[in-house]
């Protein structure tokens, strides 16, 4: 696969080819995922829930994110590593610089922030200093208490229009990628066409340039009920490595997600 860069992913979008993203938190799984055809590994603050057992991502610290990013780097075989800046670690541009520096030093190639147009200045400053940014729109788990729970975002016309405007504005500010979570499939498709940068989806239909899932979800080992947008890839795979390969293959073939995994 070779070393994946932003240029690689932008070229895939321009060619109409899809790419796969999957969360990773340690060296062992990093090795398996990065050799299975998955272009991007996300060191997600989801570790607060799937590794630490918290009921949200909010308790995760920058130090914990840096620790897991370094572990993922140790096992990586050429995938791009994206790392989340955790809750309240980028409240000001100055704080964002310090937090991003910690994750980039640990091995991240790009960092991810949750939020809309208020991030403009922060994204511009980070990009100018050599820190690529993925902006996360839609359901932003760090804002779960403001959003009133884990709900689909952008269903109302005004909200949909605002999300498209935010996406364009964030690209203009210097965002290198976007991630849309729990957004109606049609809206996600419109946003993907409205920007030139790659768009990753989770619960956002099949029209985005890429898909991401939490590793534990797609292996079927997360306790409780799975979200609608999740598929268990272990069901038809003989082992974990096979499940990762099947996920990457289905994303690139456009067979995952199906209509049953999206929202109207």
pLDDT in tens, 154-178: 888 999 999 999 999 999 999 999 9
Residue 149, pLDDT score: 64
User: According to the annotation, is 45 in a ligand binding site?
Assistant: yes
Instruction: Show the DSSP H helices in 91-179 as ranges.
Output: 93-106, 120-128, 144-147, 157-173
Half-sphere exposure of 130 (CA within 13 A, CB side): 5
Residue 238, pLDDT score: 86
- DSSP state at residue 249: H
Residue 121, pLDDT score: 96
With 70 as the cut, is the pLDDT of residue 1 above it?
A: no
With 90 as the cut, is the pLDDT of residue 254 above it?
A: yes
Residue 150, pLDDT score: 67
Distances (CA, A) of 234 to 28, 34, 173, 178, 217: 18, 18, 40, 28, 10
Q: What is the mean pLDDT of residues 96-115?
A: 97
Confirm whether 181 is a catalytic residue: yes
Residue 44, pLDDT score: 97
Contact assessment for residue 62 and residue 113, using Cβ atoms and an 8 Å cutoff: no
* pLDDT-derived band at 252, boundaries 50, 70, 90: very high
| Burial class of residue 225 in the structure, from the number of CB atoms within 10 Å of its CB (0-12 exposed, 13-18 middle, 19+ buried) | exposed
Among candidate residues 171, 181, 207, 245, the one labeled active-site is 181
Q: What is the pLDDT of residues 25-49, one digit of tens each?
A: 999 999 999 999 999 999 999 999 9
Contact assessment for residue 137 and residue 179, using Cβ atoms and an 8 Å cutoff: yes
Share of residues in the chain with pLDDT > 70 (%):
98
Q: Which two tokens stand for residue 23?
A: 């969360």
Q: What is the pLDDT of residues 120-143, one digit of tens each?
A: 999 999 999 999 999 999 988 888
With 70 as the cut, is the pLDDT of residue 148 above it?
A: no
Q: What is the chain's mean pLDDT, rounded? A: 95
User: According to the annotation, is 98 in a ligand binding site?
Assistant: no
User: According to the annotation, is 264 in a ligand binding site?
Assistant: no
CATH 3.20.20.60 holds for 6-261: yes
């Amino acid at each position: 696969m070779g070393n994946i860069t932003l240029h690689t992913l932008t070229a895939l979008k321009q060619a109409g080819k899809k790419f796969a993203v999957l969360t990773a938190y340690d060296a062992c799984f990093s090795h398996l995922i990065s050799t299975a055809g998955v272009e991007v590994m996300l060191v997600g603050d989801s570790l607060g829930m799937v590794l630490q057992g918290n009921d949200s991502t909010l308790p995760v610290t920058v130090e914990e994110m840096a620790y897991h990013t370094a572990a993922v780097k140790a096992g990586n075989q050429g995938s791009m590593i994206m790392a989340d800046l955790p809750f309240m670690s980028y409240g000001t541009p100055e704080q964002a610089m310090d937090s991003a520096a910690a994750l980039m030093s640990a091995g991240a190639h790009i960092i991810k922030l949750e939020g809309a147009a208020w991030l403009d200045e922060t994204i511009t400053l980070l990009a100018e200093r050599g820190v690529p940014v993925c902006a996360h729109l839609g359901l932003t788990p760090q804002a779960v208490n403001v959003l009133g729970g884990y709900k689909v975002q952008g269903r109302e016309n005004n909200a949909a229009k605002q999300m498209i405007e935010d996406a364009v504005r964030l690209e203009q500010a210097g965002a290198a990628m976007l991630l849309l979570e729990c957004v109606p499939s049609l809206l996600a498709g419109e946003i993907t066409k409205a920007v030139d940068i790659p768009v990753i989806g989770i619960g956002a239909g099949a029209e985005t340039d890429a898909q991401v899932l939490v590793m534990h979800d797609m292996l079927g080992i997360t306790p409780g009920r799975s979200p609608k947008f999740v598929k268990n890839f272990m069901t038809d795979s003989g082992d974990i490595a096979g499940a990762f390969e099947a996920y990457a293959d289905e994303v690139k073939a456009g067979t995952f997600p199906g209509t049953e995994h999206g929202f109207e």
